[in-house]
Amino acid sequence: MFGLIKSLVKDHLYTLKSTKFDTEGFIEDVLAKSRRLQEQYSPFIAINDSANAEGAGGMLYGLPVSVKDNICTRGLQTTAGSRILEGYVPPFDATAVAKVRQVGGIVIGKTAMDEFGFGTFATTCAYGVPKNPFDKDRSCGGSSGGAACVTAAADFPHIALAQSTGGSITAPAAFTGTVGLTPTYGRVSRYGLIDFSNSMDKIGVISRCVYDSALMLSVMSGYDPLDSTSSAMPSQDYTKYMTDSLVGVRIAVPREYFSDVVDRRISERVMDALAQLEDCGATYESVSLATTKYAIAAYYLIAVSEASTNLAKYCGLRYGLHDSIDGNFDAYFSKVRSEGFGEEAKRRIILGTFARLAGFRDAYYLKALKVRTKIIEEFKEVFRKFDVIATPSMPILPPRFSEIERMAPIEKYNVDLLTTAPNMAGVPTLSVPTGTVGGLPSGMQLIADHFREDALVKVGSVCEGLKWK
């Protein structure tokens, strides 16, 4: 069954190696197509008009790559989706981007996202909301919405560099029928990633197929002396774990991830997938991850606490949005921050500042960290007996923008129900499409133990061959 989803990327890279290729013409064509995508779906914040291919002979030579706008690109505007960084051109490449460029990847543009990653629907972006290629009235998911949008809509070979803190890769991958790989925390250097919640931020991939995600992970992962939290474990070629047999693979199915809150049509697709995986040699078993019910609260407390300190630096003094200098420092930065931050950013700054203040720090911030430890322990316990955990990716199908507008903040946060626990535990996840439900994509989330992306690629590659009723 392996190989049913054809990797455009693989074919493209193969063609490049074996024939003479007009790189300039190709890039021009890709940029023109990107501009058309922008008109249709607005997935980009910036298109790189001076895109070029460096790193001749590298393993990604000639491959168009889009980069989520919170990942720094030297010489190309990087705003993290926020007006407060409008016009900011980083003087350096994020390590992940540098690695991609070194092996010939072509940065074609910066993709739209919720401001600083603060959202599940890519609707809080200061530069336009990406529209779902399946239905333009619906969300692409967030916060890596632009990345998923380009991936789903592009008819040229392309891989997206995305990023997740609490589900920002899984959500848009599920909503757009694409593959989203969120690596283990520390697997890919965060140097050059604009911080949201440093203890949970991970650079990952959104792609058309599992092979492409595995390929990009192989390029990006590895120790980086510039990021003290990056792992010393050597990188490897993750594409070699592509397989068509799951003999001996044990899958855990946590009850808490199939509750009534989850759209039944989505969980049924996961159960259908599990039955088919069993036919490929895997076994599955129901387990309990009881701490899951605390995950959203704990996740948001940690995330906003860290985010509120990370956002302190944006004060219109050294980069990004400026204003005429009058009044004292306090008056000036208050003015710039009032203008530059969107509503959700302000909400999270206030929440985060509150959660770490005197008198609340113990009850909120520190307690949330203890819950995280519990959640990690619980995952570790499951992975003693199982290779992967399978859950639905998102509890809902891609919602209409009009529906999102009516949601209260807490309702939006609750949509992260299935992704916050693995994300705060720092374990890797892979979201794979499970066909469409009523014309809208749904997805299955696979979770593995720390640094076991190999298990995700293995199971994920088999999932690509599954049939949907």
Partner 1 sequence: MEVMIGLEVHCQLDTKSKLFCSDSTDHHGKPPNADTCPICLGFPGSKPKVNKKAIDYAIMIGMALNCKIAERMWFSRKTYFYPDLPKNFQITQYEVPVASDGYLNVGSSRIRIRRVHIEEDPARLVHMGGDITSAEYVLIDYNRSGTPLAEIVTEPDFKNTKDVRAFLQKLASMLEHLGVYDSSEEGSLRIDANVSIEGGERVEVKNISGFENVEKALNYEIVRQNGMRRMEVEVERETRHFDAESRTTKSLRKKETEDEYGYIFEPDLPEIHINGNWMENVRSAMPELPDQRVARFVREYGLTDYSAGVIVYTDKRLADFFEGCCRIYGRPAEVANWTINYLLKSLNWRSERIGASKVREETFVELLQMIDSGEITERYAKELIKEYVDSGESPRKIVGMEGDGGAAPLEEAVAKVAAENRAAVEELRAGKGEVMGFLIGRVLAETGKRGDPKAIREAIMNYLNGPEAGMPR
Residues near partner 1 (CB under 8 A) are 71-72, 78, 80, 85, 88, 90-92, 94, 190-195, 197-199, 225-229, 305-306, 308-309, 312-313, 315, 317-319, 329-330, 333, 353, 356-359, 361, 365, 369
CB of 371 to partner 1, least distance (A): 15
Alpha carbon distances (Å) from 14 to 48, 59, 100, 152, 236: 25, 10, 17, 22, 20
| Catalytic site residue from 7, 42, 66, 68 | 68
**Two tokens at 432?**
């794979």
- Asked about 393 being catalytic, the answer comes back as no
Nearer to partner 1, 277 or 315 (CB): 315
DSSP code string of 97-125:
HHHHHHTT-EEEEEE--SGGG--SSS---
| Catalytic site residue from 42, 66, 143, 197 | 143
Rg (CA), the chain: 21
Residue tagged 């799951």 (tokens)? 246
Nearer to partner 1, 33 or 322 (CB): 322
| Catalytic site residue from 34, 66, 82, 168 | 168
Question: How many helices (DSSP H) and strands (DSSP E) are in the chain?
Answer: 15, 13
CB of 362 to partner 1, least distance (A): 10
Nearer to partner 1, 261 or 350 (CB): 350
Nearer to partner 1, 39 or 330 (CB): 330
Nearer to partner 1, 193 or 289 (CB): 193
Burial (CB < 10 A; 0-12, 13-18, 19+), residue 338, is exposed
Nearer to partner 1, 35 or 361 (CB): 361
Give the full edge-to-edge strand order of the sheet including 159-164. Answer: 44-47, 106-111, 64-68, 159-164, 202-207, 179-182, 429-437, 440-448, 388-392, 250-254, 283-287
- Asked about 68 being catalytic, the answer comes back as yes
Residue ranges of alpha helices (H) inside 324-450 are 329-340, 343-355, 367-383, 401-406, 409-414, 420-425
252 membership: H or E segment, kind and range: strand 250-254
CB of 226 to partner 1, least distance (A): 6
Query: Which residue(s) pair with 182 in the sheet?
Result: 429
**Stated length of the chain:** 469
Query: Which residue(s) pair with 203 in the sheet?
Result: 163
CB of 127 to partner 1, least distance (A): 16
- 301 φ, ψ to 5°? -65, -45
CB of 20 to partner 1, least distance (A): 38
| Cα first-last separation, the chain | 17
Residue tagged 């074919």 (tokens)? 11
CB of 188 to partner 1, least distance (A): 13
- Asked about 402 being catalytic, the answer comes back as no
Nearer to partner 1, 7 or 82 (CB): 82
CB of 427 to partner 1, least distance (A): 17
31 membership: H or E segment, kind and range: helix 23-41
CB of 330 to partner 1, least distance (A): 7
Residue tagged 């770490």 (tokens)? 356
Q: Which residues contact 408 (CB under 8 A, 6 or more apart)?
A: none
Nearer to partner 1, 103 or 369 (CB): 369
Coil vs helix vs strand at 324? coil
Catalytic residue numbers read 68, 143, 168
